[in-house]
Amino acid sequence: MQHLTNKRILLGVTGSIAAYKAADLIRRLQDAGAEVKVVMTDGAKAFVTPLTFQALSGSPVHENLLDTEAEAAMGHIELARWADVILIAPASANSLAALAQGRADDLLNAICLASDVPLAIAPAMNKHMWADPATRENVKQLAQRGVLFIGPDSGEQACGDIGEGRMVESETIITRISELFTLGSLAGLTVLITAGPTREALDPVRFLTNHSSGKMGYAIAEAAVEAGAKVILISGPVSLVTPDRLTRLDVESTADMEEAVKEHVATADIFIATAAVADYRPVVVQQDKIKKNEQRLTLELEKNTDILAMVKTQYAKTFCLGFAAETRDLENYARGKLAQKNIEMIAANLVGPGAEKTTGTFNSDLNELNVYWPGGELKLELATKTRLARQLVALVAQRFTIYKENAENENNIISLKSQ
């Protein structure tokens, strides 16, 4: 189970005999879906080489604070901003003392001070070091400041003693780190999203298209990433920056988009079709530029595939959310599409002259949506597209859970009947 999909974990490794265990931890964090960057103290480097962690994490190990080159590449403030959580495992007695004092004399300490994300610590030390009043006081202070302590365990120690101070197993650390995040509502799921307009070429210089800006689709893609999903965004031509932590595939025409969707939909749990695709394309795309010799010019158009309908027909188990932009009679058209395409949800909004006073239509940063599903509806009031996208993704997650439960119940009934 991918508990940590899209989570960025900055792993601090300090000078403990248990430093080698961080190798296994990196692997398991990555298996749980996390991206890991490693910071090592000088003490840690006496036990394990940075090369080991670099090879495992797939990214350079960060070691030095007062180093111009390292600071220029990715400095301590940038690393502090990058992380969703800082995990120190193993944490030496010395590192606990430094953190309790608020020292900033090495890279790891400076990052911890500069960051406001959760700090989790898995101590590892000899039982007497752990029991020493100085360490007890440091642990107490740090816990009072909200630091999460994971372990230590009791048992046989590297030095031959038996007692409390062993670093806990990787599995336990990952479980506790996962609990730190309010589990993303789409954690472990793959979401395929189309966004923007498509373009249908008339000749080498002209095309048919529409006013879609792609903003709503991009906002939904970002919200789905935040909710823990693996996101594939298939985008028509737009001038938007690609959000972090997703895969973007650029296409031009509706046929290109259809192709890209077919390639990826089999891996998707949820398909969200926000793209305003061209419904028709020219029957003939002229090889040369069309000349303006004629008084009248007739374009013959043929229908493109309805991508959403195609997905629902060919990949019936995929949960589908469609969009409807209508100039009037919103609910009727939206409910019509919902039934006709046999999809799970539809989000509808008014566009055109009737919508100007509220939404400002296509290129606006604001929108309002009426969402319909069989037997229910919800109005999402006028808000920024970012906010609306978060509300919509939360609703999709809710409906998806119900959809899955219903599907399982149906399967159980079918298997009971066939017994």
Positions touching ligand FMN (CB under 6 A) are 14-18, 41, 43-44, 92-95, 124-125, 129
Q: Which is nearer to ligand FMN, 141 or 391 (CB)?
A: 141
3-state class of 49 per DSSP?
Answer: coil
Catalogue the E-assigned strands of 117-268: 119-123, 148-149, 153-156, 162-166, 190-195, 200-201, 207-208, 230-235, 247-250
Residue 276: which of 299, 307, 301 has the closest Cα?
307
Burial of 104 from C-beta contacts in 10 A (0-12 / 13-18 / 19+): middle
Q: Looking at 1, 66, 158, 159, which residue is catalytic?
A: 159
What is the nearest approach in angstroms of ligand FMN to the Cβ of residue 135? 9
In angstroms, give the least distance from the CB of 93 to ligand FMN. Answer: 4
204, 165 contact by CB (below 8 A)? no
Q: How many angstroms separate the Cα of 48 from the Cα of each of 69, 103, 203?
A: 23, 24, 62
> Tokens at residue 6, please?
């899209």
| Closest separation in Å from C-beta 57 to ligand FMN | 18
The DSSP bridge pattern shows strands 319-326 and 270-273 to be parallel
Main-chain dihedrals φ then ψ at residue 342, nearest 5 degrees = 60, 35
129 vs 223, which CB is nearer to ligand FMN? 129
Minimum CB distance to ligand FMN smaller for 17 or for 70: 17
Minimum CB distance to ligand FMN, residue 43 (Å)? 2
Long-range contacts of 398-401 (CB under 8 A, 24+ apart): 398/185, 399/319, 399/344, 399/345, 399/373, 400/186, 400/189, 400/269, 400/270, 400/319, 400/344
Q: How far is the CB of 374 from ligand FMN (least distance, A)?
A: 59
16 or 170, CB closer to ligand FMN?
16
Helix, strand or coil, per DSSP, at residue 153 = strand
Cα–Cα distance for residue pair 93/15, rounded to 1 Å: 9
Q: How far is the CB of 95 from ligand FMN (least distance, A)?
A: 4
Which helix (H) or strand (E) segment holds residue 89: the answer is strand 85-91
Q: Which is nearer to ligand FMN, 21 or 341 (CB)?
A: 21
Q: Compute the Cα dihedral for 175, 180, 183, 189 and give only its sign.
A: negative
**Catalytic residue at 159?**
yes
CB of 42 to ligand FMN, least distance (A): 6
Contact 185/227 with Cβ under 8 angstroms?
A: yes
| Closest residue to ligand FMN, based on beta-carbon distance | 43
CA dihedral 251→255→260→263, nearest 10 degrees, is -170
Residue 188: alpha-carbon gap to chain centroid: 10
Q: Output 14 or 115, the one with its CB closest to ligand FMN.
A: 14
Closest to ligand FMN by CB, 88 or 346? 88
Whole-angstrom distance, CA of residue 42 vs CA of residue 67? 14
Q: Which is closer to ligand FMN, CB of 92 or CB of 254?
A: 92
The full DSSP string for 271-282 is: EEE--B--SEEE
Find the shortest distance in angstroms from Cβ 237 to ligand FMN.
51
Indicate which residues carry an active-site annotation: 159
